[in-house]
Amino acid sequence: MNPDHVSEIPFDRMNREELLAKARALQSRAQKLQELVEIISRGKYMWESTFDAITAPVQIVSSEYEILRANVTLASAAGREITSMIGRKSIEVFEGPTAPCE
């Protein structure tokens, strides 16, 4: 029996061997997902570390000028914590809500 094959048999009608095969298949998939999460987490950490190591102020903004990501140099220049800048419009962070945006 192929444990990765999707069975149409309801769990309550499977025998012990079929249930064990399903459990092994699920465990294998869960382990693969955990490995992928770890790879993504390491990549995210590396990207954030590199972004924050840039010595020039950098921000990534949406098409509506909302700050999606800022580096520590930008936060320092703005005199704010990065977390207080995320999701706010650049104009609010740097000029005040009534100033025009360049």
Residue 6 counted as domain residue: no
Residue 96 counted as domain residue: yes
Expressed as residue numbers, the domain containing 35 is 11-53
Is the CB of residue 70 less than 8 Å from the CB of residue 44? no
Residue 4 counted as domain residue: no
Is the CB of residue 73 less than 8 Å from the CB of residue 53? no
Domain count, the chain: 2
**pLDDT, tens digit, for every residue of 7-21?**
577 877 888 888 888
Q: Are residues 101 and 66 part of one domain? A: yes
Q: What is the dihedral of CA 95, 67, 85, 39, to 10 degrees?
A: -160
pLDDT for 54: 95
Q: Are residues 44 and 20 part of one domain? A: yes
87 alpha carbon, distance to own chain's centre:
15
Confidence of residue 98 (pLDDT cuts 50, 70, 90): low
Amino acid, single-letter form, for residue 23: A
Q: Are residues 28 and 44 part of one domain? A: yes
**pLDDT, tens digit, for every residue of 47-68?**
999 999 999 999 999 998 899 9
pLDDT for 87: 94
Residue 1 scores a pLDDT above 80: no
Q: Are residues 63 and 46 part of one domain? A: no
Confidence of residue 101 (pLDDT cuts 50, 70, 90): low
Q: Are residues 28 and 71 part of one domain? A: no
